[in-house]
């Protein structure tokens, strides 16, 4: 047994446990992929302990190590972001393209050094790579790269360079993983830098391995570098999870957790910033408060879950229909606010109110039943009604509640709003 691997194995185990603890507190789909990849890496590290200090490892250990290298790399390439293709299709693509590489690694792990057994795996790799690339409409560059990699493997196998064929293919898998993380993780992330460096070193280690084995003097240095990148990647993943949690906490502090709209605190900041811009540009600004009619009855009769669905539906419709320059927020309960800058004439205001009315009235499906809401509004105009944000909000709130108390007359629309005109 080679006990020199035990310290690094223990460090990797501790880091995986830390990642598991963080995953339990802050569930993330990407963390599941990371943990699975690291656990496979841990299995490979455990198998390394039983390697002989000199000479070839046993066939079983060699197969375990090589296949774990490949499976871990393939797992790390999995992307949890949204894609135009389904998860099942992407998973099938990944598995089918992995199988020929798995056969290649297993044959080498069995210490088979004849080209003939490798050719069926190479042929399968070429066919699967071409067919799957065409099916998923990969770019010409990606397709050519994929096919070129298999042709390169065929060339090496034909010339008896089995070690280069296996380890250079693994280098390619980890280079793809590095590229995936480069595209996936935020540019400003510190953890991203650690992960990209780790996968870059890992890919480089695979690439130079066929040369290192012939220079035993560098074996110890290569071993330390090899173990360093595993720790670096794990620490990078922990950093990314912490950064995402901090970012999530900052987002939650400024947004309503149900609808995803800015909350009262964020709304006040937006309002003050909008008023500052209006003062500089001498523009008008409309502040609206919207209160859903009959919302309490929905909560009492259908339950709070149905009420939450109504709120989310109204918020979604308003967000989709209103201009991007408008700022929609939820102050609490069934009360929404809207900041509409550049409201310099009555026509623009009428268009905005019509848009809001149509948006609120859009049907919302709850358990197969369609609901159409109505709402009451209060409106205040800067600078005609007031010049301070708190005063504008108070005026709009008073107008909304005054109109809400009035009985609805026959033929009245769902848009109850004070008649306000620009001076």
Q: How far is CA 54 from CA 45, 57, 114, 196, 216, in A?
A: 17, 8, 24, 32, 10
- Residue 242: how many other CB atoms lie within 10 Å: 14
Run of H or E including 318 = helix 304-321
Q: Is the dihedral of CA 377, 378, 383, 387 positive or negative?
A: negative
| pLDDT tens by residue, 329-373 | 998 888 899 999 888 777 888 888 889 888 988 888 887 788 888
Give the H/E segment covering residue 298. helix 295-302
Asked if residues 346 and 284 have their Cβ atoms less than 8 Å apart, the reply is no
Per-residue model confidence (pLDDT) at position 110:
93
Count of beta carbons in the 10 Å neighbourhood of residue 119: 13
pLDDT of residue 163: 94
Q: What is the rounded distance in angstroms from the CA atom of residue 410 to the CA atom of residue 423?
A: 31
Residue 411: strand, helix, or coil: coil
- Assess contact for 315 and 360: CB atoms under 8 A: no
Tokens at 29, concatenated: 């789909």
Handedness of CA 348, 354, 359, 360 (dihedral sign): positive
Q: Please report the pLDDT score of residue 52 as a whole number.
A: 65
- DSSP string of 10-42? HHHHHHHHHHHHHHHHS--HHHHHHHHHHHHHH
Q: What is the DSSP string of 195-250?
A: HHHHHHHHHHHHHHHHHHTT-GGGHHHHHHHHHHHHHHHHHHHHHHHHHHHHHHHH
Q: Please, how many CA atoms are within 13 Å of residue 284, restricted to the half-sphere of its CB? A: 16
Q: Is 274:338 a contact under the CB 8 Å cutoff? A: no
Cβ of 92: how many Cβ atoms within 10 Å? 14
What three-state secondary structure class fits 159? coil
Beta strands in 75-231 (DSSP E): none
pLDDT value of residue 147: 94
Indicate the helix (H) or strand (E) that contains 108: helix 87-109
In the chain, what are the domain boundaries? Answer: 3-254, 264-416
CA 342/CA 70 separation, integer angstroms: 58
The listed CATH number (3.50.50.60, 2.50.20.10, 3.30.70.270, 3.30.465.10) that belongs to domain 264-416: 3.30.70.270
Nearest to 422, CA basis, from 362, 382, 377, 386? 382
Q: Would you say 292 and 377 are in contact if contact means Cβ atoms under 8 Å apart?
A: no
Report the candidate in 150, 179, 143, 148 with the shortest Cα–Cα distance to residue 165: 150
Average pLDDT, 10 consecutive residues per value, the chain (423 residues): 73 87 75 90 85 71 93 88 79 93 95 95 95 86 92 96 95 94 88 92 91 70 74 88 82 86 91 91 89 85 87 91 89 89 82 89 84 87 89 90 67 41 39
CB 162 within 8 A of CB 113: yes
DSSP per residue, 59-76 = HHHHHHHHHHHHHHHHHH
The pLDDT of residue 2? 65
Instruction: Name residues whose C-beta falls within 8 Å of residue 235's C-beta, 6 or more positions apart in sequence.
Output: 15, 191, 194
**pLDDT on residue 407:** 59
Cα dihedral 154/155/156/158 (nearest 10): 80
Q: pTM here?
A: 0.69
Quote the pLDDT of residue 98: 95
């Amino acid at each position: 047994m080679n006990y020199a691997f035990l310290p690094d194995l223990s460090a990797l185990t501790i880091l995986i446990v830390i990642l598991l603890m963080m995953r339990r507190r802050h569930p993330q789909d990407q963390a599941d992929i990371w943990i699975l990849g690291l656990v496979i890496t841990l299995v490979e590290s455990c198998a390394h302990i039983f390697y002989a200090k000199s000479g070839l490892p046993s066939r079983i250990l060699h197969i375990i190590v090589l296949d774990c290298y490949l499976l871990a790399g393939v797992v790390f390439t999995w992307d949890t972001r949204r894609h135009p293709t389904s998860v099942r299709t992407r998973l099938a693509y990944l598995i089918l393209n992995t199988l020929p590489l798995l056969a290649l690694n297993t044959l080498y792990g069995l210490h088979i050094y004849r080209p003939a057994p490798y050719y069926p795996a190479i042929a399968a790799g070429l066919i699967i790579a071409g067919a799957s690339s065409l099916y998923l409409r990969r770019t010409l560059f990606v397709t050519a790269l994929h096919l070129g990699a298999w042709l390169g493997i065929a060339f090496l196998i034909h010339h008896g360079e089995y070690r280069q064929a296996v380890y250079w293919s693994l280098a390619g898998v980890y280079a793809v993983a590095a590229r995936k993380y480069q595209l996936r993780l935020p540019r400003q992330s510190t953890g991203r830098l650690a992960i990209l460096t780790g996968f870059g070193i890992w890919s480089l280690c695979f690439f130079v391995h066929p040369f290192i084995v012939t220079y035993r003097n560098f074996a110890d240095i290569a071993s330390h570098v090899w173990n360093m990148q595993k720790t670096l990647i794990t620490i990078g993943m922990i950093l990314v999870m912490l950064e995402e949690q901090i970012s999530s906490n900052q987002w939650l502090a400024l947004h309503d957790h149900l609808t995803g709209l800015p909350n009262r605190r964020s709304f006040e900041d937006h309002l003050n910033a909008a008023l500052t811009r209006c003062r500089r540009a001498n523009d008008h600004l409309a502040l609206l408060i919207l209160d859903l009619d009959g919302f309490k009855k929905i909560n009492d009769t259908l339950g709070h879950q149905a009420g939450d669905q109504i709120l989310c539906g109204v918020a979604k419709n308003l967000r989709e229909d209103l201009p991007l320059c408008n700022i929609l927020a939820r102050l609490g309960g069934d009360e929404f606010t809207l900041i509409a800058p550049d409201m310099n004439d009555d026509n623009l205001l009428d268009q905005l109110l019509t848009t809001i009315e149509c948006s609120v009235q859009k049907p919302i499906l709850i358990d197969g039943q369609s609901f159409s809401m109505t709402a009451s509004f209060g409106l205040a105009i800067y600078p005609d009604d007031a010049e301070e944000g708190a005063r504008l909000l108070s005026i709009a709130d008073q107008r909304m509640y005054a109109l809400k108390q009035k009985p609805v007359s026959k033929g009245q629309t769902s848009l109850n709003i004070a008649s306000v005109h620009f001076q």
